[in-house]
Amino acid sequence: MNADKEPVTVLLLEDAELDVILARRAVERALPHAVIAHAQDGADAWEFLTERRQLQGVSCRGKLALAVLDIRVPKVTGLELLARIRQDSHFHSTKAIVMSTSDDDRDISEAHRCGADAYLVKHIDASEFVRTLATLVKEHCRMSEFRKGLLFGVPSFA
């Protein structure tokens, strides 16, 4: 398979149906060969990451290129999940983009403290949301770095 077309696994944690559609569109635009696994709550997402569950037929197998996480989801929050991801050596190179309707500085600071590479305030305008998320995905997840396994050693904040 051509290296530029090798699939990468992306976890999308989002419970709002419209935001799922928009976030999928953004990720697919930025990473056309991504395999997107969607979870509506953090507990299901963690089971996927620890290989106890498949999402839409996708297995994690310890390889996760990107996590796009909504902060406020049922059972285990996006930030709690991110903290778990950052503590697990299997995911040391996983990039994380946190999304929320909140623009509260405390939420943004907490996301970065938990290890977010970027924080996106969800926009009312759907096309702007898709465009902004796609740009963040491209900035943080360059295909050449997926292939090399580098994935940016130091987090940068958008």
Judge whether 158 lies within some domain: no
pLDDT of residue 148: 39
Q: For the chain, how many structural domains are there in total? A: 1
Residues in the chain, pLDDT under 70 = 1-6, 52-62, 124, 140-158
pLDDT of residue 32: 85
Judge whether 154 lies within some domain: no
Which residues constitute the domain of residue 106?
Answer: 3-145
pLDDT of residue 131: 80
pLDDT of residue 120: 87
Q: pLDDT per residue over 9-45, tens digit each? A: 899 999 999 899 989 988 888 888 888 999 999 999 9
Judge whether 152 lies within some domain: no
Judge whether 15 lies within some domain: yes
Residue 38 exposed, middle or buried by CB count within 10 Å (0-12, 13-18, 19+):
buried
Judge whether 112 lies within some domain: yes
Structure tokens at 1: 């398979």
Judge whether 150 lies within some domain: no
pLDDT of residue 1: 31
pLDDT of residue 49: 87
